[in-house]
Amino acid sequence: MKLASIAAASLIGASAEASPAVRSIPLPSGADTLIVPADAPMRYRNTEKDWPKIHFTGRFVLTGEFHYGCFGSDDEGDCRSLYIVPDHGDQVRLPHWARRTGEIDVGITSDRRLARAVLGRRSLSLPRAREGAEVTGRISIVAKDFVAEIVCDAPSYGADFVALVKPVRLTANARAAQGGC
């Protein structure tokens, strides 16, 4: 029941108060400014002083296409990761950089838990089975603790996985390996 109420509040942005205005959060270095839409489903927490990274708190529903596979070098151990490309309706409500535009993808920092919830224990090895393998599908999750940062002069977004909202549709793909800054 709690997940349903989080999902409903996140989807309709319900509030008894008037909606706040769009907020701009400039980085201390002046490298960019984060735009926080008035209907963003999370609250600003802090900006790191020595790194272009801005933290938010709060739970929200994230719906879109997920990608699970190896997206970089395996030099430092396990390269598997999971990210979600939110649907347009979710993208326009997420904080985003003013100068670094384009489609947003949100890296899931608790990606092994989400992969296990979606694919099951035996499927965690699938993307590693052959180079360039990837599992994709449609997903809707409850996430928390959104982060926006700049890595290798590119926008980067992340959040923690909390729970699945609805069942997942999967597809397996093969693609060319990519990675690096």
Q: In the prediction, which pLDDT does 134 show?
A: 79
Q: In the prediction, which pLDDT does 16 show?
A: 39
Instruction: Decide if 148 is inside a domain.
Output: yes
Instruction: Decide if 90 is inside a domain.
Output: yes
Instruction: Decide if 180 is inside a domain.
Output: no
Q: In the prediction, which pLDDT does 15 show?
A: 40
Average pLDDT over residues 108-115: 81
Mean pLDDT estimate for the chain: 79
Q: In the prediction, which pLDDT does 117 show?
A: 81
Instruction: Decide if 43 is inside a domain.
Output: yes
What proportion of the chain, given as a percentage, has pLDDT over 70?
70
User: CA–CA separation, 3 vs 142, rounded Å?
Assistant: 8
Strand ranges for the chain from DSSP E:
23-26, 33-36, 43-47, 53-57, 59-70, 80-86, 96-97, 106-108, 133-151, 154-164, 169-174
Q: How many domains does the chain have?
A: 1
Residue type, 130: R
Instruction: Decide if 181 is inside a domain.
Output: no
Q: In the prediction, which pLDDT does 85 show?
A: 96
Taking the model in full, what pTM does it have?
Answer: 0.77
Q: How confident is the model at residue 78 (pLDDT cuts 50, 70, 90)?
A: low
Instruction: Decide if 109 is inside a domain.
Output: yes
Tokens of 22: 């769009």
Q: Which domain holds residue 75?
A: 2-174
Q: What is the pLDDT of residues 134-161, one digit of tens each?
A: 788 899 999 999 999 999 889 999 999 9
Instruction: Decide if 179 is inside a domain.
Output: no
Instruction: Decide if 94 is inside a domain.
Output: yes
Q: In the prediction, which pLDDT does 129 show?
A: 46
Q: How confident is the model at residue 30 (pLDDT cuts 50, 70, 90)?
A: confident
User: CA–CA separation, 50 vs 27, rounded Å?
Assistant: 10
User: CA–CA separation, 13 vs 163, rounded Å?
Assistant: 19
**Is pLDDT above 80 for 181?**
no
Q: In the prediction, which pLDDT does 75 show?
A: 54
Name which residue leads in pLDDT, 12 or 59.
59
